[in-house]
Amino acid sequence: MILLLHTLIEAVVGLLFLLYPRAGELVPGFGSSEGPTFELLMKMYGLAALFLAGLSLYAYLKRKDDRIFLLLTASLSAYHYAMILVQTVYNPDQRAALLHFLLAIFLTAQFLGRRKVSWDTDRSRLN
């Protein structure tokens, strides 16, 4: 379920940044800058968010495949942990860091939950 929520959040943010010129005012920490460089930043951030939404949706659709699921949930978790560091250091508005923190924790829980199952399966095969 967290993967679908993650997909939804990233897709909405991505589409917002790509299609709505004043999206920076809606997202904590972006402010209301203007100009071609800021527009470029918004478009690039939008594409990155849509890419993450796609990865998350793919992980959800392939949730039966342990290797794909574990790789993608670990990767998405690592991304959000890195974003926590960036948001904490460079963004005076900590709401974005909090959102990345929550997503990182939930994605890590998904990863560890599935990993524990495979560890238990491996352990039972040895006995």
Q: Which of 119, 10, 5, 116 has its CA nearest to residue 60?
A: 5
Each residue's pLDDT tens digit, 62-97: 999 999 999 999 999 999 999 999 999 988 888 889
Q: How many domains is the chain partitioned into structurally?
A: 1
What does pTM read for this prediction? 0.86
Chain Cα centroid distance, residue 43 = 17
C-alpha to C-alpha distance for 106 and 2, rounded to whole angstroms: 7
Return the pLDDT at 39: 86
Return the pLDDT at 21: 77
The number of CA neighbours under 13 Å toward the Cβ of 3 is 19
User: Could you list the residue range(s) of the whole structural domain that residue 106 is in?
Assistant: 2-126
Query: What is the chain's alpha carbon radius of gyration, rounded to the nearest angstrom?
Result: 17
Q: Which of 5, 14, 6, 125 has its CA nearest to residue 76?
A: 6
